[in-house]
Chain A
Amino acid sequence: MQELLSIKYDVESGDFIRGGEASSSIKKLLQQLGIKADIIKRICVACYEAEMNIVIHSLGGYIEAKIFNNKIEIVAKDKGPGIENIDLAMKEGYSTAPEYAREMGFGGGMGLPNMKKSCDEFYIESKIGEYTEVRMVVYF
């Protein structure tokens, strides 16, 4: 399978102002490539949730999108506390988001489940005190 292009965005911890820009750039790129709107929407939902998790829960990281002719692969990787119990974190409603983030409407505990639902393939890997890495694939 041929990789058409690959693009990487840094995502900073605590940056709620720029948080969402990586997802927005990826969306624009997919629109230029003529990908169907409903597929783009699924990718946006997943990518935004992954991006905001880096902003809220980590010390910073990146989002990398690799576009092939039949699919997009998104990697969201950060340095940070990691996730102790991934099964628990994947449960709808489970959240350790701080109070200030909840007041902003984040911390619903729906991010990881929504990512999984929106993608055709979803993988998550984490090491306590080191990193969290989410990898998602959506077919066009």
Chain B
Amino acid sequence: MKVKDIMNSLNLKILAGENGLDKDARGVYCCDLLSWVMSHAKSQNVWITVQIHTNIVAIASLLELSCIIIPESIEVEENTLEKANEENIPILQSDLTSYQLCVKLNQLGIDE
């Protein structure tokens, strides 16, 4: 499934990184502790996090994650969005909680 399919199905708002919407997404990783993400997330994962600073883009890019979803309508820092545009990492925003997002992603047929 592509990132843009997830965006459309879950009604996510794209904040940055539009050029990365055609990436393939596989699996979901949901965590806000960055070292944990760094060592456990897998490439192409959808990453759900409440962190909004620029370093989340560095991590997503290093690990080749497919996109970042920010729950609960949290506003994302402007320089994070700029970096996401440079690195083509889609940052998608939702009013759902992390848990609700996981449930919906699961219903879409995205496995762990």
CB within 8 Å of B: which residues of A?
A: 16-17, 19-21, 23-24, 27, 37, 41, 44-45, 48-49, 52, 104-106, 108-111, 114, 117-118
Contact = CB atoms under 8 A, between A and B. Distances in A.
B interface majority secondary structure = helix
A interface majority secondary structure = helix
Given A16-B53, A17-B54, A41-B43, A108 B34 contact: yes
B35 A108 contact: yes
Nearest to A21: B58
27 contacts: A16-B53, A17-B79, A20-B58, A20-B59, A21-B58, A23-B62, A37-B43, A41-B43, A45-B39, A48-B38, A49-B35, A49-B38, A52-B55, A104-B34, A104-B55, A105-B32, A105-B33, A105-B51, A105-B55, A106-B34, A106-B35, A108-B33, A108-B34, A108-B35, A110-B39, A114-B38, A114-B39
What is the interface residue range for chain B against chain A? 20 to 34
B61 interface: yes
